[in-house]
Amino acid sequence: MDQLNIKEQQEFQTIVEQKQMKDFMNLYSNLVSRCFDDCVNDFTSANLTTKENSCLAKCSEKFLKHSERIGQRFQEQKYVSTF
């Protein structure tokens, strides 16, 4: 990064931020799709059932913990590969 001038650093930062937003939106989209498909079964009511609410809470928590764990593993691998 030190070899880049200020304008190049700003452009690089913008690209990184855009990539992070895209990754977040993909994660969110996958979470919604997967948990909806797994948990929502009753389309006879506009409201979620207690069972569906519980399932969605557990599913989203599990999905986010899994994603966090994968991120940690990537960081560990990145750290190991630098040595």
Over residues 18-64, the pLDDT tens digits come to 999 999 999 899 999 999 999 999 999 999 999 999 999 999 999 98
For the whole prediction, is pTM greater than 0.75?
Answer: no
Measured distance CA(33)–CA(51) in Å, rounded: 18
Measured distance CA(25)–CA(31) in Å, rounded: 10
For residue 48, give the DSSP letter.
Answer: -
Closest CA to 54 of 64, 75, 33, 39: 39
Contacts by 52-58, CB closer than 8 A, 24 or more apart: none
